[in-house]
Amino acid sequence: MDTTGYIVNSVLVLLVLRQIQERPLDLRSLIRPVLLVAAAAAFFLHTIPTGGNDLVLELGLAGLGAAMGAASARATRVRLDGGTAVARAGVVAATLWIGGVGARMAFAYAAGHGFGSAIGRFSAAHSITGSSAWVTALVLMALADVTARLVVLHARGRRLERRSRATGERPIVFA
């Protein structure tokens, strides 16, 4: 991973650190992460290799990312504030997010600093066609993580708002 890669991943970590502060679940809270991840995808994702077991690797890591994102969203506190859903990431949510970003950074670092041949042997033994499959899989993992987190979090917020409007109550409860 080069300097740009570290900068992009650091921005992703800072994104979750911002979410530790309570924020409304509005359009802006949806658009900013999508734009940042789309920019990262445009920078890193050039092709989607499909040879050998590349798709298995890519779908597997994307599934892991989606599971981590959904778990992070479930571990995020959602409550109503004046009828508007607000969310605040807690320790578990932040740990899942930073763990995912950290794991991707550690893999990229290891690949360029002494573990490249071991990854190459693993890839050959499991019919993974090369480094572009790994890059694609890791980017798809990040995209799935962010997307799942956003979808689950915003769905929880909308559900809480609908329930509040239906009952006429303004509960300060976590969804």
Q: Where are the domains of the chain?
A: 3-167
Cα separation, 139 vs 57, in Å, equals: 12
- 10 or 31: whose pLDDT is higher? 31
Q: Closest Cα partner for 156 from 95, 63, 62, 93?
A: 93
DSSP state at residue 21? S
pLDDT given at position 152: 95
Query: What counts of helices (H) and strands (E) characterise the chain?
Result: 6, 3
Quick: pLDDT tens for 15-56: 666 667 788 898 888 887 778 778 878 887 888 999 999 999
Rounded CA gap, 139 and 159, in Å? Answer: 30
* Residues 92-149: tens digit of each pLDDT: 988 888 888 888 888 988 988 999 999 999 999 999 998 889 989 988 998 899 889 9
Query: What pLDDT score does 84 carry?
Result: 87
What integer pLDDT is reported at residue 5 of this predicted model? 64
CA distance 129 to 57: 10
The distance from CA 42 to its chain's CA centroid, rounded to whole angstroms, is 16
Q: Which residues pair with 84 in a beta bridge?
A: 81
Token representation of residue 166: 């239906």
Pairing of strands 77-81, 23-24: unpaired
pLDDT digits (tens, 9 = 90+) for 53-90: 999 999 999 999 999 999 999 999 999 988 889 999 88
138 vs 68: CA distance, rounded Å: 13
> Distance between CA 55 and CA 37 in Å, rounded?
21
